[in-house]
Amino acid sequence: MRRFPAHPFSPLDDPNFDGDKLKEECGIFGVVGVNDAANFVALGLHALQHRGQEAGGIVAHDPEQGFNSVRRFGYVRDNFTKAEVMKDLPGPLAIGHVRYSTAGSKGATAIRDVQPFFGEFSMGGAAIAHNGNLTNAAALRRELIERGSIFQSSSDSECIIHLMARSIQKTLAERIKDALRRVEGAFAIVAMTRTKLIGVRDPLGVRPLVLGRLGDNAWALASETCALDIIGADFVREIEPGEMVVIEDGKVNSSRPFAPAASRFCIFEQVYFSRPDSIIGGRSVYETRRQIGVELAREAPVEADLVCPVPDSGTPAAIGYSQESGIPYAMGIIRNQYMGRTFIEPTEQIRNMGVRLKLNVNRALIKGKRVILVDDSVVRGTTSRKIKDMILEAGAAEVHFRIASPPTAWPCFYGVDTPERAKLLAATMTEDEMRDWIGVDSLKFISLDGLYRAAGEAAGRDPKAPKFCDACFSGDYPVAPADKIAEGFEMKAAE
Amino acid sequence: MRRFPAHPFSPLDDPNFDGDKLKEECGIFGVVGVNDAANFVALGLHALQHRGQEAGGIVAHDPEQGFNSVRRFGYVRDNFTKAEVMKDLPGPLAIGHVRYSTAGSKGATAIRDVQPFFGEFSMGGAAIAHNGNLTNAAALRRELIERGSIFQSSSDSECIIHLMARSIQKTLAERIKDALRRVEGAFAIVAMTRTKLIGVRDPLGVRPLVLGRLGDNAWALASETCALDIIGADFVREIEPGEMVVIEDGKVNSSRPFAPAASRFCIFEQVYFSRPDSIIGGRSVYETRRQIGVELAREAPVEADLVCPVPDSGTPAAIGYSQESGIPYAMGIIRNQYMGRTFIEPTEQIRNMGVRLKLNVNRALIKGKRVILVDDSVVRGTTSRKIKDMILEAGAAEVHFRIASPPTAWPCFYGVDTPERAKLLAATMTEDEMRDWIGVDSLKFISLDGLYRAAGEAAGRDPKAPKFCDACFSGDYPVAPADKIAEGFEMKAAE
Amino acid sequence: MRRFPAHPFSPLDDPNFDGDKLKEECGIFGVVGVNDAANFVALGLHALQHRGQEAGGIVAHDPEQGFNSVRRFGYVRDNFTKAEVMKDLPGPLAIGHVRYSTAGSKGATAIRDVQPFFGEFSMGGAAIAHNGNLTNAAALRRELIERGSIFQSSSDSECIIHLMARSIQKTLAERIKDALRRVEGAFAIVAMTRTKLIGVRDPLGVRPLVLGRLGDNAWALASETCALDIIGADFVREIEPGEMVVIEDGKVNSSRPFAPAASRFCIFEQVYFSRPDSIIGGRSVYETRRQIGVELAREAPVEADLVCPVPDSGTPAAIGYSQESGIPYAMGIIRNQYMGRTFIEPTEQIRNMGVRLKLNVNRALIKGKRVILVDDSVVRGTTSRKIKDMILEAGAAEVHFRIASPPTAWPCFYGVDTPERAKLLAATMTEDEMRDWIGVDSLKFISLDGLYRAAGEAAGRDPKAPKFCDACFSGDYPVAPADKIAEGFEMKAAE
Amino acid sequence: MRRFPAHPFSPLDDPNFDGDKLKEECGIFGVVGVNDAANFVALGLHALQHRGQEAGGIVAHDPEQGFNSVRRFGYVRDNFTKAEVMKDLPGPLAIGHVRYSTAGSKGATAIRDVQPFFGEFSMGGAAIAHNGNLTNAAALRRELIERGSIFQSSSDSECIIHLMARSIQKTLAERIKDALRRVEGAFAIVAMTRTKLIGVRDPLGVRPLVLGRLGDNAWALASETCALDIIGADFVREIEPGEMVVIEDGKVNSSRPFAPAASRFCIFEQVYFSRPDSIIGGRSVYETRRQIGVELAREAPVEADLVCPVPDSGTPAAIGYSQESGIPYAMGIIRNQYMGRTFIEPTEQIRNMGVRLKLNVNRALIKGKRVILVDDSVVRGTTSRKIKDMILEAGAAEVHFRIASPPTAWPCFYGVDTPERAKLLAATMTEDEMRDWIGVDSLKFISLDGLYRAAGEAAGRDPKAPKFCDACFSGDYPVAPADKIAEGFEMKAAE
């Protein structure tokens, strides 16, 4: 999802202690066929909270009480667990959404950007929750406004509702297809009408969506399998790229509304976004990450005393690196578990503390040691510098960074919050320059081929037909980012 | 404004201690040409709080920061006075709205019904605040939805924004005209674009709207003159029925977008809605009400010891009645000034207290006395009965009710929250039956002619061309309530 | 109650739009013998809200669940009406307190100053609610601290709990007597143990306290009779000066713990503090105030067109003035009923609005008229000046102030929040100087004798044995203000 | 700290998803000699949040503005980071406290139990923050109440303030000594007067307290070294058992107010309470825990495919077990990082989810594997059973529990929240019975000697003079729990 700067209800920027991570912008979940479906959605969204921490919403439908909706800033556990809230969301069918990017906006206005979005159509209501980003949303929005649509949010996803409203199809499911054929970009969608739970993935399948089953008649759709686990649902299968499923009366009907295309799943889901206990493409995310560490140890060995993860995302790769290299694994950096969310309106003094509020060096362990630090990625490099400072101040003899992804040199336009290209360290420096800028004894990234191997492609990346979307590393964008190109973004020159 | 029951975000009902009053549903205010216009709007809305107590909103525009909006449940004094809120509403142009009828709705969803409404059009944004009710809104809404509009609120007023969106006019001011030519019913509107403050009254001028001036270049529009007083603005004139003013660059341009029609100002504004310190049609509202008491004393004299108002709305008429009759005026009923708003989620015990939470009899004064009680109106009659009980329990010898309006026998469809017809006491009983049902020694209403005389029409009401809208008393609806007729409402048979 | 500046938890000052009124500092209420006594206390406190608007507390006792307490900033109607709060206050015995002077303090610390205070003693718990002020509290507090007491609040009333703790009496009722024999000043007290409801008035009876009966076995104690009315209790009698009542098992036992003294009830309760529908000393407060207007019309007649009250406290005297003088009564100033409480953290602009937020002139009525304004008192005179400005700006021909109390020239040390003496207008100016400073055509105060006559003393004030405490007018303090004298306050020289 | 049931303001119990952990009840921190000391205290408390998650308080002293205090429920990061709060805590000297056990209490009353406690004495104010528990507090409290003290909280720690108030010593520092000589049990204390920062540990040194230095003149006292790290202070040394330090004018003065005794530091701080990046007794806590895993692998080897920690507390021991055994370390259970605090008022459905809200099995990894689970302790055993269920449901071939502490068979009376003895699994079952009850293939606890070895005592535990307090494992209580014995607690029979 993206924000449109012209809109009057623009959220503010937020001091961000997680500055050097890419942010997945959404998690989606839906369930049909259970009593109080919204309670299940709350649990599913809680399991998907890592995909969007700033706000969440649930829409439920009850045959008696119609559609109801609650949308709030903050964590699922704080907003969607109280009986007094959940009683307003009755019924056997519900969908929900957690999102990242409204950080720092306040009050009633920006709540408009929180999904699911709801529309009342002549044949009834429908709600929609979208993970991903539409690359032609700005153009669509301009066109729709000119034709008389009133946008209520600053979100690209709202286009889908307006395209549905203008479709001449007779059913809402057909109108969703109609609308999605007009949009470009990445979308995994969970939608609902009064009786149907609907799931769709874009033709390339950039964002994940899985199907789960709960007993005989109940079904769930979720961004990741970990959200099926929490409600006790069995993982049935992934929704396939370009597939639409319509679940009604306990039956799942599949169709293929789009022209066929080769799948390009986001490889960064494997590296960082997805939870390690999720299963993607038939593989454990944890195992892929551990294997990245194994590949890194082979590609970039170094003599050292300890392998330490930058917690928590570097942990599986650090375990793999240790196992492959034989260098002992150790918790050299301890994460303050009470820093799940950033401070709200901190004092100046606290704003300046930065990474120390979140991480502390295990001084007694580190002192005098040669330390390998394994992190998942380097975006701006700012946090890496601060961690290096902390480790050296604690008396480490040497510091070697090993990064579980290739250099992040290109922005993502498919649903990830990336800095503009000029702020990506790897867009302006070589690996050696980055090493010197961060100020460590060595810095090595896994190769793109190594990453593909860890992700199960024994032969590495096939440049003619890469199996994943790896645009953030390669600049090879599977869908042209039309709005961004119109704004002046320059694609990588053909080689 | 009206709510549409089909909408998923329906507000709940509210226990209402003011059960026997008609409720004006909105107050509107706008200002242009001052620094921090929103602060002036907050003051103006505070002065108009009696027109809508449940929620309020302000939209402001700043050349640098664009449009900003804050909408909240609760009083103006609690929401729009803090520096931390008002700093988010910068700029020299702002409009605002207070409303009644969202009582009891909760959370983020129903805030959608709080005005001003905002729309982003191809030529820029516009915000609109509406006092009144559109009698063809349901039909318009159906049509707009079929043509692809997505409604976000349950309010009739939102139609105006969608009609603007579909207009082919080139300027927003022209689009407002276009939209308003399509709607029927009562509307006083304050709207704004990036540079213009706009005011419009419907052709009959059912709802009030006045123009004020602040210094050389600043202008204000307000529902009542008391809101000009609070900001220190001079009252210039009323916006005329069917007039549209567009204020830009310190200039007021007037036009007449509608076919000419004879004015029919709401006479209940004189009786109850407007504040006594406002000036309407060149007359003091207070003086009109005092004169109603004088007329009542002439039409319905009775021997008694004291004339007591039912506070606070009966006070001016009671003063007039006392002055004309020579019977001493006294405060026989004391109002608890801390009951400005109803209790939120009261305990069962408190819910049953009803009127005693709000009013108390001045027992030492009343005991053994023949008391004339002057009230502004009788709607369901429930509160009148409770007041009579209190007065008798305190030992009054006789109780005589005198009512400063004719029997309320017909619902209002022009922006007032009236019970359905069957619940109006006067729709089913004669004056004598009402007297017996309430249980007082006598009960007299002012005649419709007497009311017109008090309002300055020396000859009383001309049935061929009545000067006011008095449909709630006469059943003579100046605009046919199309939606209601479609739902089955029966108009008064022609005589 | 008074604040002690040495305490670390000192509340802040509050911008105060009611600047020119003396403030009663407390209302107290207790009930025993009903189910859910706390609900009755909430209603009683709601009726006493005018005696203390900033905070309130209730302590209830249940045989099973022991003592429970809720104390909150804000109005009774907002804090003590929700089922979720009241369910925490079960049991047949409860007392409560509303207070004025913690305005502006924030957060958890200053809630410590909100009564009732509770103490756990070796023979069980007791709670106490105090209206009045102890004139030797500072000395007692120093002594108690030196002997090892830890004070938790900044309130003088807390001394009573510590004196009880150090008493060697065997019962809590005896310990209360013991404690109250040590204190000086004004006190009306409602207290409770596990089984007893206790009421006490100081020997002079400066502050009011009345006894009411509810059915056969239930009893209530209240600052004013209007609080008995709201719960439907019958007014039995006043607690007499120097009397202590202990209510247990449906029986009321009376005793006289103090040396006998002549009664000196606060005459300002008649003028302003008490509600007009209360009965004090067998007389209607409203009637006393109306009679003050009658006396004023006799003492200080003037030719004019209208008699207007400064709302709401000047209303009964204005009615009396009009009736005696024959000059028509009119509502020349309209009060905004949504200003019950002051704005919280207003913007600069709103802070500067002052009285205009609360009062507006009825311009059409006032224009060109000679106006008599009747107000209850003049303290600093600041509000009087602003009102005069408003009236003149609206075009009044003449403005005559008539004040329903004598010049307020001395501070109160018995439970009323008065400015220091130097800030009292009447302490430094003659009546003529005040007239010129305020800027009106004439200014007249009722005489002290006239006030006594209106209060039922046909012979006026007996300077040898005045029947009321009138120290604020006369400087004749019935109890020497020991703490204040120690701080340097100079008593009036003997004449 | 302990709660006294007789007090009327008793907090409620809280549904607790962390049911099978002992809870440290407090963390304390103080700093002197810096600008805005409270900001440093907030950071220190944030680093100590694991020691008390339910509430926190800070008292600061400024020469101009005296003592100020803020006490709140919830996390430090939510309460003590906003400029608007911190500006109320000015000055160069401040102390703070985080606590566990007020979970579930609500509103203003129970905030009374939140420390620091403050007392106003004849020679000035003092505030005190206490980690530990006084074993004779009930007897002291009874005595103090009989002598006239009024307790405001239900906390044992408040006794110290009242004992200080009754001391005849001339200085506050001497009064603290006086008071602490009267109490028994465990106490690490940080206190402050207007000019002094004071730290004390009980003679046995059961609870930790360390001294840090910040630049030349500023000093800090903290429960753990990790809180020195976060403010950038250097760790100077531990406060010794029985030592009192008084820091004033940049100087640290040490004294020994108590009779000498052999040190008995709490060994559970090593096992679980302290953060792994803290240094205790000259050793890294992390390293001690890793070494426990090494000892466990030696004492209780088993053939398996994976060693998995129960996150997060079992992690270091699992690393040690893996390293010693050669069995690969793996993240078989993933912790939901958004579960830092328990749900507030969850729905029934969510209440029943229990551990699944917090932990999820890495199914793809676990399936078909023989798994060793390493946890820090077993208290009731309830969570262990649920984890076993999850692991088996995910398809594990075998489950072996290895516990990084001996069986917890006795309650702690020195500041840890332990269930009563009958609810401790190890108090009623043998190791084999526990294995069967939990339902795993094997269950082994580290021996007490093994634990001592891991903690640096190469010879294991000397039963004549054990170096640690290990009462929870051994029943050997270094201070007799007088209050508990009076209530009927039976000590272990002498062997």
- What is the pLDDT at residue D9? 27
- In this model, does residue A98 exceed pLDDT 60? yes
CB contact under 8 Å between A363 and D339, yes or no, is no
Residue C449 CB neighbours (<10 A): 16
Strand, helix or coil for residue D219: strand
**pLDDT class of B495 with cuts at 50, 70, 90:** low
Q: Nearest-CA distance from B120 to chain A in Å? A: 6
- In this model, does residue A108 exceed pLDDT 70? no
CB contact under 8 Å between A343 and D315, yes or no, is no
Strand, helix or coil for residue C322: helix
Measured between beta carbons, the chain B residues lying within 8 angstroms of C316 are 331
CB neighbour list of residue B362: distance below 8 Å, 6 or more residues apart: B330, B331, B332, B333, B334, B394, C276, C277, C284, C286
Q: Specify the DSSP element, H or E, that contains B33.
A: none
pLDDT, average across residues D438-461: 97
Measured between beta carbons, the chain D residues lying within 8 angstroms of C10 are 66
- What is the pLDDT at residue B347? 66
Query: For residues B467 and B457, is the Cβ–Cβ distance under 8 A?
Result: yes
Active site residue B26: yes
pLDDT, average across residues A339-352: 58
- What is the pLDDT at residue A17? 43
**pLDDT class of A150 with cuts at 50, 70, 90:** very high
Q: What tens digit of pLDDT does each residue of D385-436 get?
A: 999 999 999 999 999 999 999 999 999 999 988 888 999 999 999 999 999 9
Q: What tens digit of pLDDT does each residue of D140-174 get?
A: 999 999 999 999 888 999 999 999 999 999 999 99
- What is the pLDDT at residue B348? 67
Query: Is A313 labeled as ligand-binding?
Result: yes
- According to DSSP, the residues that pair with D96 across neighbouring strands are D29, D58
- What is the pLDDT at residue A111? 78
- In this model, does residue B15 exceed pLDDT 50? no
Question: Which one, of B161, B177, B191, lies nearest residue B256 by Cα?
Answer: B177
Strand, helix or coil for residue A309: strand
In angstroms, the CA B305 to CA B325 distance is 11
Reported pTM: 0.88
pLDDT, average across residues B81-86: 87
User: In chain A, whose CA is at the least distance from the CA of B160?
Assistant: A150
Residue C490 CB neighbours (<10 A): 8
In angstroms, the CA D403 to CA B346 distance is 53
Measured between beta carbons, the chain A residues lying within 8 angstroms of B5 are none
Q: What tens digit of pLDDT does each residue of C434-443 get?
A: 999 999 999 9
Instruction: Give the rounded percent of residues in chain D with a pLDDT score beyond 70.
Output: 90
Could you give the C-alpha distances from B113 to B179, B208, C479, D133, D282, in angstroms and in order? Answer: 20, 22, 60, 55, 64
Least confident stretch, A81-85, A95-99, C192-196, C474-478: A81-85
Helix count and strand count (H, E) for chain A: 19, 25
Q: Which of C115, C120, C162 to mutate to test the interface with D (most CBs of D within 10 A)?
A: C120
**pLDDT class of A385 with cuts at 50, 70, 90:** very high
Which token pair is D257?
């107010």
- What is the pLDDT at residue B358? 87
Question: Which one, of C441, C261, A142, lies nearest residue B122 by Cα?
Answer: A142
- In this model, does residue D324 exceed pLDDT 50? yes
Which token pair is C426?
């009447």
Q: What tens digit of pLDDT does each residue of C81-100 get?
A: 888 899 999 999 999 999 97
pLDDT, average across residues A242-267: 97
CB neighbour list of residue B294: distance below 8 Å, 6 or more residues apart: B320, B321, B323, B324, B454
**pLDDT class of C11 with cuts at 50, 70, 90:** very low
Least confident stretch, A17-31, A306-320, C79-93, C175-189: A17-31
- What is the pLDDT at residue D6? 29
| DSSP string of A368-424, one letter each residue | T-EEEEEES--SSSHHHHHHHHHHHHTT-SEEEEEESS----S---SSEE---GGG-
Looking at every residue in chain B, the average pLDDT score rounds to: 90
CB neighbour list of residue C445: distance below 8 Å, 6 or more residues apart: C378, C403, C405, C406, C407, C431
Q: Nearest-CA distance from A124 to chain B in Å? A: 9
- What is the pLDDT at residue D101? 60
Most confident of A146-155, B83-92, D151-160, D435-444: D435-444
Q: What tens digit of pLDDT does each residue of C119-163 get?
A: 999 999 999 999 999 999 999 999 999 999 999 888 999 999 999
pLDDT, average across residues D260-282: 94
- What is the pLDDT at residue C239? 98
- What is the pLDDT at residue B340? 54
Measured between beta carbons, the chain C residues lying within 8 angstroms of B353 are 43, 230
Q: What tens digit of pLDDT does each residue of D25-50 get?
A: 799 999 999 999 999 999 999 999 99
**pLDDT class of B419 with cuts at 50, 70, 90:** confident
User: In chain C, whose CA is at the least distance from the CA of B339?
Assistant: C77
pLDDT, average across residues A181-188: 97
Q: Nearest-CA distance from C140 to chain D in Å? A: 13
| DSSP string of C85-135, one letter each residue | HHTTS-SSEEEEEEESTTTT--HHHHGGGSSPEEEEETTEEEEEEEEEEET
User: In this complex, which of A10, A120, A151 lies closest to B151 when CB atoms are compared?
Assistant: A120
- According to DSSP, the residues that pair with B97 across neighbouring strands are B28, B57
Measured between beta carbons, the chain A residues lying within 8 angstroms of B151 are 120
In angstroms, the CA A132 to CA A202 distance is 9
Q: Nearest-CA distance from B58 to chain C in Å? A: 16
In angstroms, the CA A308 to CA A374 distance is 6
Strand, helix or coil for residue A482: helix
Query: Is B69 labeled as ligand-binding?
Result: no
Instruction: Give the rounded percent of residues in chain A with a pLDDT score beyond 70.
Output: 90
Residue carrying the six token digits 């009825």: C362
pLDDT, average across residues A356-364: 91
Which token pair is D159?
């006794």
Q: Nearest-CA distance from B422 to chain A in Å? A: 27
Helices in D150-253 by DSSP H: which ranges?
158-166, 172-182, 226-231
- In this model, does residue B84 exceed pLDDT 90? no
- What is the pLDDT at residue B1? 34
- What is the pLDDT at residue B493? 83
Least confident stretch, A355-364, B14-23, B127-136, D466-475: B14-23
Q: Which of B14, B349, B352 to mutate to test the interface with C (most CBs of C within 10 A)?
A: B349
- In this model, does residue D289 exceed pLDDT 90? yes
User: In this complex, which of B75, B334, B346 lies closest to C276 when CB atoms are compared?
Assistant: B334
Q: How far is CA C439 from the centre of its chain?
A: 30
Q: How far is CA B180 from the centre of its chain?
A: 20
Q: Which of C59, C143, C147, C150 to mutate to test the interface with D (most CBs of D within 10 A)?
A: C150
Query: Is B412 labeled as ligand-binding?
Result: yes
Least confident stretch, B75-89, C161-175, D32-46, D241-255: B75-89
Burial class of residue C247, CB neighbours in 10 A (0-12, 13-18, 19+): buried
In angstroms, the CA B191 to CA B181 distance is 16
User: In chain C, whose CA is at the least distance from the CA of B337?
Assistant: C340
Which token pair is A231?
């409600």
- In this model, does residue A16 exceed pLDDT 70? no
Q: What tens digit of pLDDT does each residue of A266-283 get?
A: 999 999 999 999 999 888
How many inter-chain contacts (A to B, CB under 8 Å) are there? 97
Residue B266's region, left for phi above 0, alpha for psi from -120 to 50, else beta, is beta
How many inter-chain contacts (C to D, CB under 8 Å) are there? 95
All partners of chain A with 3 or more CB pairs under 8 angstroms: B, D
Measured between beta carbons, the chain B residues lying within 8 angstroms of A108 are 70-72, 108, 111
Question: Which one, of A355, A361, A358, lies nearest residue A331 by Cα?
Answer: A361
Residue B491's region, left for phi above 0, alpha for psi from -120 to 50, else beta, is beta
CB contact under 8 Å between B337 and C312, yes or no, is yes
Measured between beta carbons, the chain C residues lying within 8 angstroms of D70 are 107-109
Q: Specify the DSSP element, H or E, that contains C357.
A: none
- In this model, does residue D102 exceed pLDDT 90? no
Compute the C-alpha angle B6/B12/B15, nearest 5°: 145
CB contact under 8 Å between D122 and C142, yes or no, is yes
CB contact under 8 Å between A344 and D47, yes or no, is no
Question: Which one, of C491, C490, C485, C484, lies nearest residue C156 by Cα?
Answer: C484
CB contact under 8 Å between A149 and B146, yes or no, is no
Could you give the C-alpha distances from C354 to C16, C19, D205, in angstroms and in order? Answer: 9, 10, 61
User: In chain C, whose CA is at the least distance from the CA of D146?
Assistant: C122
CB neighbour list of residue D363: distance below 8 Å, 6 or more residues apart: A229, A277, A279, A284, D394, D395
- In this model, does residue B236 exceed pLDDT 50? yes
Q: Nearest-CA distance from C402 to chain B in Å? A: 20
Looking at every residue in chain D, the average pLDDT score rounds to: 90
Strands of the C442-445 sheet, one edge to the other: C306-309, C370-375, C398-403, C442-445
Q: Nearest-CA distance from A100 to chain B in Å? A: 19
Least confident stretch, A189-198, B249-258, B352-361: B352-361
Catalytic residue among C26, C159, C226, C308: C26
Instruction: Give the rounded percent of residues in chain D with a pLDDT score beyond 90.
Output: 80
Known binding site for [4Fe-4S] cluster: residues of D? Answer: 266, 412, 469, 472
Strand, helix or coil for residue B321: helix
Q: What tens digit of pLDDT does each residue of C264-274 get?
A: 999 999 999 99
Q: How far is CA B404 from the centre of its chain?
A: 17
Query: Is B313 labeled as ligand-binding?
Result: yes
- What is the pLDDT at residue D111? 78
Helix count and strand count (H, E) for chain C: 19, 25
Known binding site for Mg(2+): residues of D? Answer: 313, 375-376
Compute the C-alpha angle B289/B295/B299, nearest 5°: 140
In angstroms, the CA D97 to CA D160 distance is 16
Q: What tens digit of pLDDT does each residue of B433-486 get?
A: 999 999 999 999 999 999 999 999 999 999 999 999 999 999 999 999 999 999
- What is the pLDDT at residue B353? 67
User: In this complex, which of A106, A111, A150 lies closest to B119 when CB atoms are compared?
Assistant: A150
Q: What tens digit of pLDDT does each residue of A37-56 get?
A: 999 999 999 999 999 988 99
CB contact under 8 Å between B46 and C338, yes or no, is yes
pLDDT, average across residues D320-327: 98
- What is the pLDDT at residue D347? 66
Which token pair is C99?
């207070």
CB contact under 8 Å between C120 and D70, yes or no, is no
- What is the pLDDT at residue B107? 36
Query: Domains, chain A, ranges and CATH?
Result: 23-264 (3.60.20.10), 287-337+344-477 (3.40.50.2020)
Q: Which amino acid is at A435?
A: R
Least confident stretch, B355-369, D96-110, D198-212: D96-110
Residue B352 CB neighbours (<10 A): 10
Looking at every residue in chain A, the average pLDDT score rounds to: 90
User: Which DSSP symbol is given to D353?
Assistant: T
In angstroms, the CA A371 to CA C379 distance is 76
CB contact under 8 Å between A75 and D338, yes or no, is yes
- In this model, does residue C212 exceed pLDDT 80? yes
**pLDDT class of D107 with cuts at 50, 70, 90:** very low
CB contact under 8 Å between B276 and C331, yes or no, is yes
- What is the pLDDT at residue B233? 95
User: In this complex, which of C81, C357, C360 lies closest to B350 when CB atoms are compared?
Assistant: C81
